Amino acid sequence: MNVSDPLIRASVTFLGPGEGGRLSPVRAGYMPHLVVGDPAKRVADLAEDGRTLTESYLGVRVRGHDKTPLSLCQAHALDLELIYAPEVDYSALQSGASFTVREGHIVVGYGQVLEGVK
């Protein structure tokens, strides 16, 4: 992990398999994408071809040194590294912004930014 990557602090809930989410818990180092928008949304936006994603995906990495897995279906306060900054614009991840967590086009969680870039 690059300690110089900018961070945000967010409250994140990972969905369990019954909600179409992950089968296994998340650990530090996990690298999903965030899509800013309605956290209740559970389907990716696709172009008319039905295959091309039309949303902005923002790559992050879960920071932490604890080897304990994060439980599914409960909120966790996490530091998320903005791993593609400054090449990618992360300005949408301001305090209060809501987002979904994605693995490809699959929504595996949701959350809200607690603290913007630090």
pLDDT reported for residue 4: 72
Q: Would residue 89 count as lying in a domain?
A: yes
Q: Would residue 97 count as lying in a domain?
A: yes
Give the number of domains in the chain: 1
74 Cβ neighbours under 8 A, 6+ residues apart: 13
pLDDT tens by residue, 82-103: 999 999 999 999 999 999 999 9
**39-45-50 Cα angle (round to 5):** 150
23 Cβ neighbours under 8 A, 6+ residues apart: 17
What order of strands is seen across the sheet that includes strand 98-103?
58-59, 33-36, 98-103, 106-115, 7-14, 75-81, 61-62
Residue ranges making up the domain that contains 49: 7-115
Q: Would residue 20 count as lying in a domain?
A: yes
> 45: pLDDT confidence band, cut at 50, 70 and 90?
confident
> What does each C-alpha distance from 100 to 52, 65, 73, 93 come to in angstroms?
18, 24, 14, 12
Q: Would residue 1 count as lying in a domain?
A: no
User: What CATH number is associated with residue 78?
Assistant: 2.40.30.10
pLDDT tens by residue, 61-71: 999 867 789 99
Pick from 7-11, 52-56, 111-115: least confident: 52-56
CA pair distance 81, 74, nearest whole angstrom:
21
Q: Rounded to the nearest 5°, which phi and psi values hold at 17?
A: -60, -30
pLDDT greater than 80 at residue 24: yes
Q: Would residue 2 count as lying in a domain?
A: no
